[in-house]
Amino acid sequence: MAIAVGLAGALLLVAAATAGVVSSAFGGGGGGGCVGAVHPDADAAHETRATTAGTPSRVCAEVSVGGWTRPVVGEAGSGFRTGDRPGHDGVDIMAARGTVVRAASGGVVVRVRCNVGGDSWEPTGGPMPCDSDGYPGLGGCGWYAEIRHPGDVVTRYCHLIRQPTVTVGEPVTAGQPIGHVGSSGNSSGPHLHYEAHEGYPATEDNAVDPIPFMRRKGVSL
Ligand SMILES: [Zn+2]
């Protein structure tokens, strides 16, 4: 495990360099990025124990050799296009309200939006319909963000509790916090609805099952 964490730390730097990210670009983003808190050479085992114990907002995510990480730590629930939910284009990861949601890999934020009941709005800075919990049948992703990764892969993060903490055009690194778990939009309770798309822009047609997709990237959801 210590080797894996050390490797992850080194690879974070690789991922940042590959994406052309300047570390200072997200230094003032409130809560900071994951990169600054990584200590690849020391206390790797201790940090691993801390992850198990909780306080996810203060602990860096492990990043795979391919530069990917879990967007949130939690158990996968409702899956991709199941018999019950053929239109469910992602996987639901169960996590407590307020849990930090992280960029699954490096890229650029291409969408930050509030989406409920068939309508979408750009953030206004004021109160918005996505600031309160939704319910099943309401429809929509609630507060969500999309990240475009190299190779025109897009990941989407839905039902955030409030406006994502990143903005359109902002470069992000794997594991960087982008928001917090909530239940906005078409949601029965706090969880992250996570989508992966092999194509840009993200559409229903290029959505793929996130679980095997992430497995190919070296990450078990
Ligand atoms: Zn879902």
In this structure, which amino acid lies at residue 215?
R
In this structure, which amino acid lies at residue 137?
G
How far away, in angstroms, is 80 Cα from ligand 1 center? 8
Mean pLDDT of the chain: 81
pLDDT at 61: 81
| Residue 181 lies inside a defined structural domain of this protein | yes
Q: What helix, strand, coil percent values describe the chain, rounded to 5? A: 20, 25, 50
How far away, in angstroms, is 128 Cα from ligand 1 center? 21
Segment 97-144, tens digit of pLDDT: 999 999 999 999 999 999 999 999 999 999 999 999 999 999 999 999
DSSP state letter for 103:
-
Dist CA 137 CA 85 (whole Å)? 12
Mean pLDDT of 142-162: 98
Segment 20-45, tens digit of pLDDT: 333 333 333 333 344 433 333 333 33
| Residue 20 lies inside a defined structural domain of this protein | yes
> When comparing pLDDT for 77 and 33, which is higher?
77
How far away, in angstroms, is 8 Cα from ligand 1 center? 29
- Number of domains into which the chain is organized: 1
pTM of the shown model: 0.76
pLDDT at 2: 39
| Residue 99 lies inside a defined structural domain of this protein | yes
| Residue 114 lies inside a defined structural domain of this protein | yes
CATH number, residue 212: 2.70.70.10
Segment 84-94, tens digit of pLDDT: 999 999 999 99
Domain around 73: 2-216
How far away, in angstroms, is 79 Cα from ligand 1 center? 8
How far away, in angstroms, is 34 Cα from ligand 1 center? 26
| Residue 221 lies inside a defined structural domain of this protein | no
| Residue 103 lies inside a defined structural domain of this protein | yes
pLDDT at 59: 55
How far is CA 171 from each of CA 57, 81, 165, 174, rounded to the nearest angstrom? 20, 30, 12, 10
How far away, in angstroms, is 53 Cα from ligand 1 center? 26
